[in-house]
Amino acid sequence: MTALTSAAPQPDAAPRPARTLRRAGTGRLAAALLSPTLLVLGLVAAYPVLAAFRLSFQVSSESIDPQTGFKVTTTSYGLDNYAAVFTGERFLRPWWNTTSFALVSVAIEVLIGVAMALVMHRAFRGRGLVRAAILVPWAIPTAISGLLWKWIFNSQGVANELLGAKVLWSSEGFQAWLSVVIADTWKTAPFIGLLVLAGLQIIPGELYEAARVDGASPWRAFWRITLPLVRPALVVAVLFRLLDVLRMFDLPYVLVGPRKHSVETLSMIAFQEMTNLRFGTAAAYATVLFLYIAAVSFAFVKLFGADLIGRGTGRPE
Amino acid sequence: MSTTTPAEAGVHGAADPVRAARRRRWSGSALARRAGIGVIVLYCLAPFFWMVVSSLRRPTDQFSNAPLPAPISFDNYAAAFDARNGFARALANSLVVAGTTTVITLIVAISAGYALARLQFRGKTLILTLVIAASMFPPITLVVPLLELFTDAGWINTYQAMIVPSMSFALPLAVWNLTAFFRQMPAELEKAAQVDGCTPAQAFRKVVLPLAAPGVFTTAILVFICAWNEFLIAVSVVNDRGMMTANVIVSLFTGQYKYDQPFGTQMAAGVVVTLPLVLAVLFFQRRIVDGLTAGGLK
């Protein structure tokens, strides 16, 4: 942010004609270069969000026209769709699932990811291969890894064999929730590890040298040097992961299945409503999820100072 | 990995007493670290290994939990490509959708990334905020109204219905990466070209773009992987089996009876869908890691 303000064009104290002309040309060039991106994002991101908002207030009711005997659909605007979202016996369940998945998975992923990064930090032979291995879970499509974990968690599958137990993972209950957390952690903890590793590698070694000379224990060096310096990278990674899990759909949908209350997320319910052609309710769910995610990102940026934009505008020093 | 390490250390130690002494001093932490790396590799690869192993069993051995398939059989692969499943067509659909998404996204994002990295203009923060905000939008919020729109427009079961919404996440990713990449290139390049008489546009086309090829390539890999992995949009806007992408069709494979899930066949198809990505990861891991961490840490 600060880098940007200093980089922004200063109002010329003594305007020179040639320079102003160049500026105007630059402005036009920037507009021309950016307009395709803005157009596309307007069409596929901004418009749908607004359309979903509008749609969420739309209530259609079907009735029979007494004169013609045909079915007529009348559309009015109201809060009925939101009433459907916030009432009912189990209306808190998808909120709880969505939130608990986000909090628990991301917390475990950060712990495992940081541990992985610390292990990989020092140079060693075969580093390239290890890095490739770490990218494998990330590269496997989520839908496919959902199937893979469904197979692993099959009642006769390898998970039960290793545990020596007969757990019915895919039936309703805590174990279904846990299987989703495990599969999600497997996929993304290595990814967080990579991001943290990249953050570790820009910490100058002299800092640790100085800490050791001053008699600091490795543990203290970790808390006082490593963590504070990795924090900016970690905060951004955690924010993106949180948002990713809050909108999770494929993994529980494929791994456990649709209409399973123990794992049903807000995205899944919205999808369910949509496939049943209840677009108004689907849009209401989609809109509350959108607002929820927006609120979480806003709170996160305020609390932890995740400097998202600074990453884009900051000049390389 | 961790099992071969102590043996190796022993061999070296016997040959060179000085190094042996040094090794002994280090062996505790070095061993622990090697064991740690072994655990990491195991953690990352074991489930994928299980997918490969399960895919190579005979269908009758499906429920065997032996660590290696014996005998090895490719029946599951043959079953995956059985005409009834339409898997080959689905792979081609995935390729068309992910490939087209990648190409269009790159064309649009290159110019935006260049402008954001190089030109000084008002509203840059706002545009970057918009781009990053768009990448945070939940796909379901976009899909619900788009499905209604596409239904009215007759776009259901078309490629464009999958490609266009995919750009909502592909484009921010590409713009972000390319902006970071263009910023790393020395600004003197265009200055020199402009001194030599190029217009800014020519300087970009003739000097910057050829030199930016590695960054564009990295971005292309990332966008392609993301587009190839897409599921929610593809499962929403297509209901004709002939137009489904590989991810969707594999999750819909059915066995002989409706409720017995043909896991062996699904694992074989999963390996086929994943293999191009695993190969890409093997060959381009350095680029991919650079791309994933671009902008965040520089």
Interface pTM (ipTM) of the complex? 0.84
Name the nearest CA neighbour of B248 among A277, A143, A70: A143
Q: What is the helix (H) or strand (E) element at residue A63, kind and residue range? A: strand A58-64
pLDDT at B161: 93
Residue B28 falls within a domain, yes or no?
yes
Interval A298-303 mean pLDDT:
87
Beta strands at A71-77 and A58-64: parallel, antiparallel or unpaired: antiparallel
For residue B136, give the nearest of A243, A249, A315 by CB distance: A243
How far apart are alpha carbons A261 and A177 in whole angstroms?
A: 10
* B232 inside domain: yes
User: How confident is chain B (298 residues) per 10-residue block, as mean pLDDT?
Assistant: 40 49 57 85 91 87 78 86 87 95 95 88 86 88 91 92 91 90 83 82 82 89 91 92 92 67 88 90 83 58
pLDDT at A22: 54
Does A297 lie at the interface with B, CB-CB under 8 angstroms?
yes
* Residue B242 within any structural domain of the chain: yes
Tell me how many residue pairs between chain A and chain B have CB atoms under 8 A apart: 299
Phi, psi of A74 (to 5 degrees): -110, 140
At residue A11, does pLDDT exceed 50? no
Q: State the amino acid at position A96 in one-letter form.
A: W
Residues B166 and B96 in one domain: yes
The SS3 of residue A88 is: coil
Helix A142-152 to helix B263-292 angle, to the nearest 10 degrees? 130
Contacts of B229 in chain A (CB under 8 A): 141-143
Q: For residues B113 and B232, what is the distance between their CA atoms, to the nearest angstrom?
A: 27
* Closest chain A residue to the Cα of B161, Cα to Cα: A44
pLDDT one-digit tens code per residue, B120-139: 888 888 888 888 888 888 99
**pLDDT above 90: percentage of residues in chain A:** 32
Among B36, B40, B285, whose Cβ lies nearest the Cβ of A132? B285
- Report CA dihedral (B130, B228, B108, A50) to the nearest 10 degrees: -40
The confidence score (pLDDT) of residue A204 equals: 84
User: Is residue B60 situated within a structural domain?
Assistant: no
- Is the CB of A7 inside 8 Å of chain B's CB atoms? yes
Q: Which residue has the tokens 């990861």?
A: B281
End-to-end CA distance of chain B: 33
- In a domain, residue B97? The reply is yes
Does B45 contact A186 at a Cβ distance shorter than 8 Å? Answer: no
Query: Hey, which of A175-189, A229-243, B259-273 has the most confident mean pLDDT?
Result: A175-189
**Per-residue confidence (pLDDT) for residue A310, from 0 to 100:** 55
HEC letters along chain B: CCCHHHHHHHHHHHHCHHHHHHHHHHHHHHHHHHHHHHHHHHHHHHHHHHHHHHHCCCHHHCCCCCCCCCCCCCHHHHHHCCHHHCHHHHHHHHHHHHHHHHHHHHHHHHHHHHHHHHCCCCCHHHHHHHHHHHHHCCHHHHHHHHHHHHHHHCCCCCHHHHHHHHHHHHHHHHHHHHHHHHHHCCCHHHHHHHHCCCCHHHHHHHHHHHHCHHHHHHHHHHHHHHHHHCCHHHHHHCCCHHHCCHHHHHHCCCCCCCCCCCHHHHHHHHHHHHHHHHHHHHHHHHHHHHHHCCCCCC
| pLDDT value at residue B256 | 54
**Is the domain of B98 the same as that of B145?**
yes
CB contact under 8 A, B274 and A139: yes
Residue A1 has pLDDT above 70, yes or no: no
Mean pLDDT of A64-83: 78
Model pLDDT, residue A180? 94
Residue range(s) defining the domain that contains residue B20: 4-55
Nearest to A141 by CA among B141, B174, B80, B235: B235
Determine the length of chain B. Answer: 298
Domain presence at residue B65:
no
Q: In CATH, what class is A88-313?
A: mainly alpha
CA distance A21 to A18: 5
What gap in Å lies between CA B294 and CA B298, rounded to an integer? 7
Nearest to A147 among B179, B266, B298 (CB): B266
Total of domains in chain B: 2
Q: How far is A249 from chain B (nearest CA, A)?
A: 7
**Does one domain contain both B253 and B161?**
yes
Average pLDDT over residues A163-179: 85
User: Are B142 and B30 found together in one domain?
Assistant: no
pLDDT in the model for residue A168: 82
Q: What CATH number should be reported for the domain holding residue B180? A: 1.10.3720.10
What is the pLDDT, as a whole number, of residue A286?
Answer: 93
A302 touches chain B (CB under 8 A): no
Contacts of A203 in chain B (CB under 8 A): none
Q: Which amino acid is at B109?
A: A
**A30, A134, A198 ranked by CB distance to B119: nearest:** A30
Question: Taking CB atoms and an 8 Å limit, are A190 and B130 in contact across chains?
Answer: no
Helix axes B124-136 and A279-304, enclosed angle (nearest 10): 120
Interface membership of A41 toward B (CB under 8 Å): yes
Where in chain A are the domains?
Answer: 88-313
Whether residue B152 is contained in a domain is answered as yes
How confident is the model at residue B10, as a pLDDT? 41
Tell whether the model's pLDDT for residue A235 goes beyond 50. yes
Side-chain-side CA neighbours of A269 within 13 Å: the count stands at 27
| pLDDT computed for residue B193 by the predictor | 84
- Note the pLDDT tens digit of each residue in A274-289: 988 888 999 999 999 9
* Residue B295 CA, distance from chain mean position: 19
**B25 to chain A nearest CA, in Å?**
17
Which pLDDT tens digit goes with each residue over A116-146?
A: 888 888 767 777 888 888 889 988 999 999 9
pLDDT at B14: 45
Q: B52 to chain A, minimum CA–CA distance in Å?
A: 10
Rounded to a whole number of angstroms, the distance from the CA of B63 to the nearest CA of chain A is 7
The answer to whether residue B63 is domain-embedded is no
Determine, for residues A279 and B148 on separate chains, whether the beta-carbon distance falls below 8 Å.
yes
Q: What is the pLDDT of residue A24?
A: 61
Indicate whether B156 and B288 sit together in one domain. Answer: yes
Cα A88-A91-A93 angle, rounded to 5 deg: 140
How far apart CA B214 and CA B185 sit, in angstroms, is: 12
Evaluate if residue A273 carries a pLDDT over 60: yes
pLDDT at B27: 57
Q: How far apart are CA A317 and CA A313, in angstroms?
A: 12
Q: Note the pTM of the prediction, 2 decimals.
A: 0.84
Q: What is the pLDDT of residues A186-231, one digit of tens each?
A: 999 988 888 888 888 888 888 888 888 888 888 888 888 888 888 8
Q: Distance, in angstroms, between B233 CA and closest chain A CA?
A: 10
